[in-house]
Amino acid sequence: MRNAIASLVLILTAASPAPEARVRLFVIVSPSQTVTDLSLADLRRIYAGDMTRWPDGHRIVPVMPPARSRETALFLEHVLRTTMIDYAQNWISVVFRGRAPAPPRVLATADAIRFVTTHADAIALIPDPLDPPPGVRVISVDHRAADAPGYPLTW
C-alpha cells in the first residue's frame, strides 16, 4: 500500500507542470549617472512618459525589455498596469504631445546593456543577470537593493 501511494505521489509530482521561475528585474543606468535609487512611482512615470528628465536636466532615455518577453509582460502588468497595446499607444500620445521622443526598444537583453553603456542618460530593465554586467550600474528601487527582501521588481 505504501509503495502504491508513493508511486502515485511520484506520478502526480512528475505530471504537474514545473512552477515558473521567479522573475527579478534589475534597473541599470550608466555609471556616470548620479541617481542611485528610484521610487517605484518614478519608475512608473519614466516608462509612462510622465517623467522625462534626470535631476541634472538631461532627458531620460527609457529602454524596455524585449517586447514579447515574460519580463516585459510582468513589468507592464505589475508596474505600469497596462497592456502592450495600450503601452505602445500611450507612447504615440507622448510623442505627439511633444513630451518626449519615442523610446528605444531592444530585441535582446544584451542590446539593452549595450545601449546603456553607450548612452549616459539611458535607463533599462534587465532580468536577473548571473554576473553584474560591466559598464553599467544597478540602482535600487524604493531604497531596496535588487538582492534585498521586498525588492519591488520581483514576481
Partner 1 sequence: MPLRADGATSQSLPIFHVGGFGDIEAHTHSSSRREDLNAAELDVFATLQLSNSWSALADAVALKSWNTRADEKSVEIELERLYVEYSTSDAFRLELGETETGIVRWSAREHRSRFLQTPVDVPAIARRPAEDGAWPLRFIGARGSGRMSGPLGLTWAAGAGVGPGPVREAVPVFGGGRSPAALLLLSSSPESIPGFDTGAAVYAQEVHSRPDRIRERDVTLWVNYVSHGDEMRIEWARMNHSLTSNPAMFVTTGYYALLSKRLSGRAEHARPYVLLDRLRVARGESYLGEAADENAWAAGLRYDVTQRFNVKTELRSQRSVAGHRESVLGLELGTSF
Burial classification of residue 92, based on how many CB atoms lie within 10 Å of its CB (0-12 exposed, 13-18 middle, 19 or more buried): exposed
Q: Does 50 bind partner 1 (CB under 8 A)?
A: yes
Q: Does 143 bind partner 1 (CB under 8 A)?
A: no
HSE-CB of 155 using CA atoms within 13 angstroms: 13
Closest to partner 1 by CB, 70 vs 114, is 114
114, 106 in Cβ contact below 8 A?
no
When binding is defined by CB under 8 A, the residue of 23, 70, 82, 129 that contacts partner 1 is 82
When binding is defined by CB under 8 A, the residue of 59, 132, 143, 147 that contacts partner 1 is 59
First CA to last CA across the chain, in angstroms?
A: 40
Stretches 2-10, 19-27, 100-108, 135-143: which one binds partner 1 (CB under 8 A)? 100-108
Q: Does 29 bind partner 1 (CB under 8 A)?
A: no
Burial classification of residue 95, based on how many CB atoms lie within 10 Å of its CB (0-12 exposed, 13-18 middle, 19 or more buried): middle
Q: Does 134 bind partner 1 (CB under 8 A)?
A: no
Can you tell me the distance from the alpha carbon of 35 to that of 75, in angstroms, rounded to the nearest whole number?
Answer: 21
The cell for 148 is 534585498
Q: Does 37 bind partner 1 (CB under 8 A)?
A: no
Shortest spacing between CB 2 and partner 1, in angstroms: 43
Closest to partner 1 by CB, 7 vs 36, is 36
Task: For residue 72, give the 3-state DSSP assignment.
Answer: helix
Can you tell me the distance from the alpha carbon of 58 to that of 76, in angstroms, rounded to the nearest whole number?
Answer: 25
Number of chain positions touching partner 1 (CB under 8 A): 42
Residues that bind partner 1 (CB under 8 A): 39, 41, 44, 50-53, 57-59, 61, 63-64, 77, 81-86, 88-89, 91-93, 95-98, 101-107, 111-112, 114-115, 118-119
